[in-house]
Amino acid sequence: MSLEDLQKIAPTSTDSADLKKYGKDWSMNFEANASAVVFPRSGEEVQQIVKWAIQSKTALVPSGGRTGLSSAATATEKEVVVSFEKMNAIIDFDPIDQVVTVQPGVITEDLHNFVEDKGYFFPIDLAAKGSCHIGGNVATNAGGLRVLRYGMMRDWVTGLKVVTGTGESLYLNKSLVKNATGYDFRNLFIGSEGTLGLITEVELRVTQKPALTRVTVLGLEELRHVTSVYQHFRQATQLSACEVFSEFAIQKVIDMHGLQRPFETRAPFYLLLETEHSQGEDESLLMEPFEACFAQGWISDGVISQSPLQAKSLWNLREFISESLSPLSPYRNDVSVRTSRIADFVVEIEEAYKQQYPDFEVAWFGHIGDGNLHIDILKPQSMDKTDFIKKCKQADHTLFSIVQKFEGSISAEHGVGLLKKDFLDRSRSTAEIQLMREIKKIFDPHHLMNPGKIFTIG
């Protein structure tokens, strides 16, 4: 079985520009080294590709929108990349089930627009929505901006069609609301980063759009007060998002995009809260927690959006952060703990970094209402890239020891991929990792489905 046989199944490219482009994701840590890129157009073609891979003993790397930040969609060992770019059809919408059926290559924002035109709402929303695919969102169990209210991707997937590493096609859960028939393989595939097989069709639940949302941005004096402020607002309002970002991060967004500051007063940190309201409800509901937090000296200033346009521009301050930091070659971490522990967790990391790495410039931001913090360390211009990464890897030991102490996760939502696999044992026990290996062997006995990602088979 040769590359020519693969070309007979679906369009295939070995062009060096394509190998470079499709061979890696958004993370910059590994170089692409793919042997070919294949573009299936249907589930049947995907199945034939897997059978070809088994016969030719070729490893496959599934690839969605390539916005992943953990090098999970990166081919470093001459694998064949399977790009789902051409499988981008919205197949069906059932208004009774309120279920939409899509091919995995549908761009997340296109799904949002489709569903909105039908009068519904799909709440998984992330800054990469203009490029990432639904298949990639499923394979990473994407989170994003409204997890606090609506949960992760897992909570919205009602059915999945997959091709396993044995070449078998499975239709999982079939969008049943109730299905008590043993193990739920659908949930095994969600978040599996392409290591068990390839997702060929996704069925998703949709919901009603909230009547009215408001965005409030608050100036926060110290990061350790974040939980107290969150608690006051959560008790008084229907919070749908609670995001934090530092003055350092917001300044980078303002520099790159020319956006306005939320208000004149500068604060070391900012908290962005999105709240849901019924029609006609005014903003007075937000004033009570605001005044209580202001009286405590936890917040220094604030603004409440007065129009959808203003809400959007306040959201932009948060959503543009990753993109604005990218030119500074950030070393990214995405960790989480229980929300109740986030303040103590942050204080401990800040102190450890200050003591051990005083020259680090760190941009702090994240989905703080979910206990999820993004920590981007920026490369000093004068420092060589290799030295910088080496130093950051040393710092990872410090960070992940603190994560382990707080019983947190080394990857809240970006996945493990190649980037974090050496630290998997800080969040998962030896027994759990061994069980994952055994499960992979059942679904992928030839070890061809995105090998080397999450863990090494041993």
Question: Is 12 a residue that touches ligand FAD (CB under 6 A)?
Answer: no
Closest distance to ligand FAD from the beta carbon of 152 (Å): 8
Q: Which C-beta is closer to ligand FAD: that of 157 or that of 304?
A: 157
Residue 63 within binding range of ligand FAD, rule CB under 6 A: yes
In the bound state, the residue with its beta carbon closest to ligand FAD is 136
The reply to whether 128 sits near ligand FAD by the rule CB under 6 A is yes
| Binding status of residue 27 toward ligand FAD by CB under 6 A | no
- At a CB cut-off of 8 Å and minimum separation 6, what does 189 contact? 138, 139, 160, 162, 172, 196, 197, 199
- Which of the residues 101 through 120 are near ligand FAD (CB under 6 A)? 104
Residue pair 78/33 in contact by the 8 Å Cβ criterion: yes
Q: Is residue 67 at the binding interface for ligand FAD, with CB under 6 A as the rule?
A: yes
Kindly write out the interface string for residues 303-322 of this chain, putting x where it contacts ligand FAD by CB under 6 A and - elsewhere: -------------------x
Kindly state the number of chain residues that form the binding site for ligand FAD, as judged by CB under 6 A: 37
Q: Does 40 bind ligand FAD (CB under 6 A)?
A: no
Beta carbons of 177 and 401 less than 8 angstroms apart: no
Q: Is residue 162 a contact partner of residue 199, using CB atoms and an 8 Å limit? A: yes
Retrieve residue 351's tokens: 């102190």
Least distance between ligand FAD and beta carbon 300 (Å):
27
CA 440 to each of CA 147, 233, 419, 424: distance values in angstroms, whole numbers, following the listed order = 28, 43, 19, 16
Asked if residue 450 binds ligand FAD (CB under 6 A), the reply is: yes
Question: Is residue 44 near ligand FAD by the rule CB under 6 A?
Answer: no
List the one residue from 23, 40, 43, 68 that touches ligand FAD (CB under 6 A): 68
* Closer by beta carbon to ligand FAD, 198 or else 267: 198
Q: Which amino acid is at 175?
A: S
Kind and range of the H or E element at 304?
A: strand 299-304
Q: How far is the CB of 324 from ligand FAD (least distance, A)?
A: 10
Single residue of 53, 99, 102, 132 touching ligand FAD by CB under 6 A: 132
Displacement of CA 321 from its chain's centroid (Å): 14
| 451: helix, strand or coil | coil
Give the up-direction half-sphere exposure of residue 402: CA atoms within 13 A in the CB hemisphere: 20
Distance CA 268, CA 278 (A): 33
Three-state secondary structure readout of 358-413: CCCEEEEEECHHHCEEEEEEECCCCCCHHHHHHHHHHHHHHHHHHHHHCCCECECC
Residue 58 Cβ, how far from ligand FAD at the closest point, in Å? 15
Residue type, 452: G
159 binds ligand FAD (CB under 6 A): no
The reply on whether position 133 binds ligand FAD by CB under 6 A is yes
Contacting range for ligand FAD; rule: CB under 6 A; set: 64-72, 238-246, 283-291, 390-398: 64-72
Residue 346 neighbours by CB distance under 10 Å:
24
DSSP string for residues in 247-258: HHHHHHHHHHH-
Distance CA 99, CA 123 (A): 14
Residue 413 lies near ligand FAD (rule: CB under 6 A): yes
201: contact with ligand FAD by CB under 6 A: no
Whichever of 133 and 420 has its CB closer to ligand FAD, that residue is 133
Q: Is the dihedral of CA 231, 141, 112, 174 positive or negative?
A: negative
Tokens 């999820």 belong to: 372
Query: Does residue 366 touch ligand FAD according to CB under 6 A?
Result: no
Contacts of 210 (CB under 8 A, 6+ apart): 121, 240, 276, 277
127 binds ligand FAD (CB under 6 A): yes
Binding mask 231-250 for ligand FAD (x = CB under 6 A): --------------------
> Taking CB under 6 A as the rule, does residue 142 contact ligand FAD?
yes
Of 193-201, 226-234, 378-386, 428-436, which part binds ligand FAD (CB under 6 A)?
Answer: 193-201
When asked if residue 79 is in the footprint of ligand FAD (CB under 6 A), the reply is no
Residues that bind ligand FAD (CB under 6 A): 25-26, 61-69, 72-73, 84, 104, 126-128, 132-133, 135-137, 139-140, 142-144, 193-194, 198-199, 322-323, 413-414, 450
